[in-house]
Structure 1
Amino acid sequence: MSADAPMNRFVVISGCSGGGKSTLLAELARRGHAVVEEPGRRIVKEELESGGRALPWVDGPAFARRAIVLALADRAAAEGRPGWVFFDRGLVDAASALQHMTGEPALETLARSNPYHRRVFLTPPWPEIYGTDPERRHGLDAALEEYERLLQDYPTLGYEVVILPKTGVAERAEFVLATLAT
């Protein structure tokens, strides 16, 4: 496999909701890297605008299934992009949620066959900056539960989890890029 194969270039930034993922991804984009927006936020916006029911607080499994479809489409679309491609969450997060809610073996059937870079960066819980908004209605307790699940699921799939430091966005971006360079 060549060094520029998608699984080597596709990097997931995941972790605790409200931990600074979107801010970090905006900084990486500002530095010229390709960034893929979180599937869940896009789905929530669409569903709220259309009066749909595939919302995490209305029909969690439908929401997770839509997130899986969107994450697969994001991966396919990103294959034509050169260099690092940073994903705000993605397929593993959606498959983990679906498996947690329904018991369906989504991690094995989907996530293993669509790998990302071996290192996955997780934002740790950061209560001081956590907040809700129209697309993020769950509280910190639910965010912590999701974080713990992802902290277990990523290594189960063979990923090396790297916990991001609670630092400023520029330092976090430097940390990510330096870690990928090793």
Structure 2
Amino acid sequence: MKTKRIVITGGPGSGKTALITYLEKEGHAVIHEISRDVILEAQKEGIEQLFLENPILFSEKLLEGRLKQFHEGKNNASQILFYDRGMPDVTAYMDFVDTHYPEKFSDTCLKYKYDEIFVLPPWEDIYEQDNERYESFEQAEKIFHFLKNGYQNYGYKIHEVPVGTIKERVQFIITTINLITN
């Protein structure tokens, strides 16, 4: 049986990472986000905000990392594999900052496809800025729309996850996946 690749995405501070962590604790297979690792690696090299200072380099590192995660997913024995962000997130963020990127970015997003996409909307009550999350809540709202449009432009149907407790959000995702696959 082929593993279903499920992306969970959303703007900064939407509860995405908490949701992924919960899914993992519940025994689901997950692939974790790598953005913070890329940011921290750049900060060790003296670049405070790599995405702002060199968005193409940052995005290339992310796309390479996410493509590697995609390929590693082929070895996963689970029926469902959750990804904390997918490759189209890279181009959506580039579109958000109005930066032109090489065609290979879009080609990669079109060639390697996920099965389902769940997008978490901005949620002001839980939004917090930190050292790696420099965006304001207003920017997070705009990013959300760029993410939705970005995935749709690659031909994906988007499932918007309602605001609620982590358990309610997980239930929505699992129920939706079951309806699609049955």
Give the alignment's TM-score, normalised by structure 2: 0.88
Q: Is the CA contact 1:96–1:106 (under 8 Å) kept in the aligned structure 2?
A: no
Deviates more, 1:134-143 or 1:10-19: 134-143
Q: Is the CA contact 2:14–2:123 (under 8 Å) kept in the aligned structure 1?
A: yes
Deviates more, 1:165-174 or 1:54-63: 54-63
Q: Residue type matched to 2:84 in 1?
A: D
Q: What's the counterpart of residue 49 of structure 1? A: 44
Q: What's the counterpart of residue 139 of structure 2? A: 142
Report the Cα offset of residue 54 of structure 1: 6.9
Q: Is the CA contact 2:12–2:135 (under 8 Å) kept in the aligned structure 1?
A: no
Q: Residue type matched to 1:47 in 2?
A: A
C-alpha distance in 1 between matches for 2:56 and 2:144 = 18
Q: Counterpart of 1:181 in 2: which secondary structure?
A: helix
Instruction: Give the one of 149, 161, 166 matched to 1:164.
Output: 161
Q: Is 1:67–2:62 an aligned residue pair?
A: yes
Report the Cα offset of residue 46 of structure 1: 1.7
Instruction: Give the one of 81, 89, 94 matched to 1:93.
Output: 89
CA RMSD, 1 decimal: 1.8
Q: Is 1:131–2:158 an aligned residue pair?
A: no
Q: Is the CA contact 1:47–1:53 (under 8 Å) kept in the aligned structure 2?
A: yes
Tell me the alpha carbon deviations over residues 91-124 of structure 1, each in whole angstroms, 9 at most, x when there is no partner.
110133345411533553111100001x210010
Q: Is 1:32–2:27 an aligned residue pair?
A: yes
Report the Cα offset of residue 180 of structure 1: 0.5
* Stretches (4+) displaced over 3 A: 103-108
Q: What's the counterpart of residue 17 of structure 1? A: 12
Give the length in aligned residue pairs: 176
Percent identical across equivalent pairs? 25
Unpaired stretches in structure 2, ≥5 consecutive residues: none
Give the alignment's TM-score, normalised by structure 1: 0.88
